[in-house]
Structure formats: structure tokens, C-alpha cells
Amino acid sequence: MKDTIESIVQECMAQDVSIGEWMLRREVDRSGSSREQIFGRMQERLHVMKQAVRDGLSDITETESRLSGGDACRMHQYNQNTAPLSGPVISTAMTAAMATSESNAKMGLIVATPTAGSAGILPGVMVSLQDNRGVDDDTLTMGLFAASAIGYVFANHAFISGAAGGCQAEIGSATAMAAGTITELQQGTPEQAAHATAMAMKSLLGLVCDPVAGLVEVPCVKRNVIGTSIAFSAADMALAGITSRIPCDEVIQTMHTIGRDMPGSLKETAEGGLAQTPTGKEAARRLYQRPCTL
Amino acid sequence: MEFDSCFDIIGPIMVGPSSSHTAGVVSIGKFVHDWLGEVADVTITFYGSLASTYQGHGSDKAILGGLLGLSAHDINVRSAYALAKDKGLRYDFQFCTDIPGGCHPNTVHLQASSSTENVHASGASIGGGVAYIYKINGHHTSINLGTGAEISSIAARTKKEAPFR
């Protein structure tokens, strides 16, 4: 029997533990490794995420394709010189997400969360909560366990790759994981975290995977950035006591159904969507002028 | 269940930009490196999506990095061409945007040799950093190179098994 968001929330309430704690205990049981070893492995991932943000911010070069690069630095400058309309929490997260995704596009070291294409959202949220709310590394690490519990349900009941389910499966899953995680880190209940997860996912249902020239750059980088603001909006709603009228597991099931029905041209093949705009096609033509040699 | 560990979701730690076109490709190269001990000469054939998008995804550096013994989280993958030159690895790339019948869109074929032996291996990078080796020296097989896989011990173990002994 596969775990559902509902079953995890019920177990958390019965045992009076957080979703993160539930996932950590589950990993101890399944792996046979000690709690300290597993916690350490997750904390190592947090440190890689934070380093990826620093790397991305200090590198203003463009990628080989010239489709991305340098925007995290622009965003950072803007945050320093003005009071961003989105406020410090979201604007910091946007900058950190952009830095990570730009770093990823340049073959920097990142953590797939849950994939490389959606690797900016969780680190963006983590860095912002630390910078603006003083959340320490150990607490953030527990947040990553919560994120992995949510992602684990998405991965086993729907999909987490754009090739399988469209962008809703990548940016959608990552944003939903981040929304639930923020809620938990802000002392929301497991039930509230589930509502935040559902509300974030609902706002991204149907999003297609249409990368220009097949690269993880356009529109991926900016979707990571905007994913952070959706995650914070969904978490704020849940913390205000607002619920998703459709239960989280039904939303996840819906994502699966939509992904299954989505045409192949909109699932990471670069045969549809933004990839097939005149500008998108020109970018691809510029990059790939290689005849088959066999 | 395909995804069981929390580290299947938060991970792998990897060099970008793509878990399927970069991280999984490193693992296929590393399998052949670990099989031979050291690679002196190799012909790399990228098929399908790898042939059409390898440059932007760094799949060429990924496969060379793996063939030089690097792992998917090793930042030196980025400098694989320079490392190959330093180590005297002779390589030749072939590209075929068609996908061989029944194969995964991300397929790579390697004909590699050390100073003492040869190996022909075919692999596919299926997503999330997970790769498979599905043919070695003409024999069909199914070796999972998962995100936490110890590739060197898998290669050593496979080599001792029939029909590869």
C-alpha cells in the first residue's frame, strides 16, 4: 500500500510528529542507517544548495547557448537598491532560485529537488527563510525531510519528470513540496502543510514542458523563480487557516491524469509550446547544425 | 516502488544541467571505466535526444568524465576535455539522431579498450540520474546504475558473472 498525503498526515497526528520527523524515521527504518548518518546526509545536501546559490550569484556569465545567465545578479542588485514589490522574503527566494538554476545551466554542482530542472525552488525558499527569518541549518534540514516526504508521494502516485508528465510534474511538484515545507517550518500543522501543498499544485496543473532547444534554460530558470512566490502564497493561505477544497491526494491524482493526457509534443521534446515559437526555433537552429554522422 | 528513499527525491548531488542528459550519462561512462580499470581508447556513439542536444546539456563532457573515472557529483566533469588530454585518452564521437529500434531516446554506445582488453557496452539514461547498462559485448543484460549506486563494485561483480567471465 503506497503512502498518501492523507495517510502521512494521519500518522503524524497520531504520533504527534512533524512530516519531516515522520520521513526521517521512515528512512532510518528502511535503510538500517543511524538517525545521525541520515540527518548528516541530508544536511550535506543543504550545504550544497547554499553553495550553489553563492556560485550562481558570483557568476555573471551567460551559458554556451546564451539563453540564460547573469539575471540572478541583476535581481540581487535590484533587491539591494530598491524595496522590491514582492517584499524581502519572496525577493530573496526568487534571487536564490535564479542563482541555483543559472548555476545548474552552467554545469554547476546542484541538488536535484526533485529534478535538476526544478532544482532552484527549494534552495530559494530555504535560503530566504534563513536570511529573513533566522531559521537555522538543523531546522532547514528537517524541512528537507518534509519536502522529500511530499515529493515521495508525488513521485509514486504521479510523476516528477517533465518527460513523463509535463512541467506540472517538475516545477509543479517542486513548488508543492516547497509550499508544504514552508508551512511546516512556520509551525503549521501537518494538515495545514497538506493544504499548502494542494493549493500550490492546483495553481500549476496543466503546465507544459516546452524547453527552447531542449535545454534546461528557457522557460525553466524563470519558472523556478516564480515557483518560489507561489510556494510562499500557498503557505500563507494555509497558515491563515484557508483550506484546499479539493484534498491534496485528489489534486496529485489530477496532475497524473492531466500528464497522461498531455500530448508528447508538450513533454520535454521541444516539439511544442515556447520551443516552437519563431524565436525558440531560431535558437535551436543556431545551436544544432550537426548532420548525422552514421 | 520506484522512489523509496528520501534521497531519491532530495538528490542526487550532481553537476547540472540535467539529471537525464548529464548525471546518468556520467554513470554509464564510469561503468565502462570501472570495467576496464583505465580507458585508453574509446568510440562514443550518442543516439536520439543525446545526439541532438548533447552540447547544451554537457553530455559530451559527462561521458568523457565518466570514462575518466569521475562521478556525477564531481565538478571536474566540466573540464573533462582537458583531463582527457592530460591522461592521453583517445576518443572519437559519433552522432545518430535516429533512435535504434526498441531503445530509449537517451541511448549511448561505447566501444572502449584499455591496454589489455576491449569492451562494447550500451546504456540508457532514463531520468532522475538513473541509468541502465543493457548490453555488454553483444549479451543483453539489465544493470541498474541508480543514484546511490556503487558503480565500481557493480562493474566488478558483473564482470565475474556469466556470460562475461
Whether B4 is in a domain gets the answer: no
Rounded-to-integer distance, Cα A38 and Cα A34, Å = 6
Cβ of A105 and B12 within 8 Å? no
For B135-152, the pLDDT digits (tens) are 999 999 999 987 777 899
Choose from B4, B6, B27, B74 for mutation: most chain A CBs within 10 A.
B6
Tell me which residue range forms the domain holding B148: 14-160
Rounded-to-integer distance, Cα A114 and Cα A171, Å = 9
Whether B8 is in a domain gets the answer: no
pLDDT at site B146:
76
Q: Is B95 on the interface with A (CB under 8 A)?
A: yes
Whether B2 is in a domain gets the answer: no
* Torsion over CA: A109, A113, A117, A118 (sign): negative
Look-up: residue for cell 585508453? Answer: B40
Whether B9 is in a domain gets the answer: no
pLDDT at site A293:
54
Nearest to A103 among B11, B16, B57 (CB): B16
* pLDDT greater than 90 at residue B100: no
Q: What's the angle, vertex CA A188, arms to CA A184 and CA A192, rounded to 5?
A: 95
Nearest to A287 among B23, B56, B75 (CB): B56
Helix (H/G/I), strand (E/B), else coil: A293: coil
Write out chain A residues lying below 8 Å of B17, CB-based: 104-107, 116-117, 215-217
Sequence spans of domains, chain A: 5-285
Rounded-to-integer distance, Cα B122 and Cα B132, Å = 9
Rounded-to-integer distance, Cα B73 and Cα B8, Å = 15
- Long-range interactions of A263-271: CB distance < 8 A, separation 24+: A266/A166, A266/A208, A266/A209, A266/A210, A267/A162, A267/A163, A267/A164, A267/A165, A267/A166, A267/A208, A267/A209, A268/A161, A268/A162, A268/A163, A268/A209, A268/A211, A268/A214, A269/A163, A269/A214, A270/A210, A270/A211, A270/A212, A270/A213, A270/A214
Nearest to B96 among A27, A109, A292 (CB): A292
**What's the total number of domains in chain B?**
1
CB atoms within 10 A of CB A240: 8
Cβ of A111 and B14 within 8 Å? yes
Min Cα–Cα distance to chain A from B6, Å: 5
Write out chain B residues lying below 8 Å of A152, CB-based: 3-4, 6, 8-9
Whether B59 is in a domain gets the answer: yes
Whether B108 is in a domain gets the answer: yes
3-state secondary structure chain B: CCCCCHHHHCCCEEECCCHHHHHHHHHHHHHHHHHHCCCCEEEEEEEHHHHHHHHHHCHHHHHHHHHCCCCCCCHHHHHHHHHHHHHCCEEEEEEECCCCCCCCCCEEEEEEECCCCEEEEEEEEEECCEEEEEEECCEEEEEEECCCCCHHHHHHHHHHCCCCC
Helix (H) or strand (E) holding A110: strand A109-111
List chain A residues with pLDDT less than 70: 1, 289-294
Write out chain B residues lying below 8 Å of A42, CB-based: 6-7, 10
Q: Is B119 left (phi over 0), alpha (psi -120 to 50) or beta?
A: beta
For B19-44, the pLDDT digits (tens) are 889 999 999 999 999 999 999 999 99
Residue B35 CB burial class (10 angstroms; 0-12, 13-18, ≥19): buried
Whether B91 is in a domain gets the answer: yes
Architecture of the domain whose range is A5-285: Orthogonal Bundle (1.10)
pLDDT at site B130:
82
Write out chain B residues lying below 8 Å of A37, CB-based: none
Min Cα–Cα distance to chain B from A81, Å: 31
* pLDDT greater than 90 at residue B87: yes
Give the Å distances, CA to CA, from A24 to A49, A77, A138, B7: 19, 38, 13, 11
Cβ of A41 and B7 within 8 Å? yes
Look-up: residue for cell 556525477? Answer: B72
Rounded-to-integer distance, Cα A135 and Cα B21, Å = 35
Chain A 119-138, CB below 8 Å of chain B: which residues? Answer: 119, 122
Cβ of A107 and B2 within 8 Å? no
pLDDT at site B97:
81
Write out chain B residues lying below 8 Å of A23, CB-based: 6
- CA B6 to centroid of chain Cα atoms: 24
pLDDT at site B165:
77
Cβ of A112 and B19 within 8 Å? yes
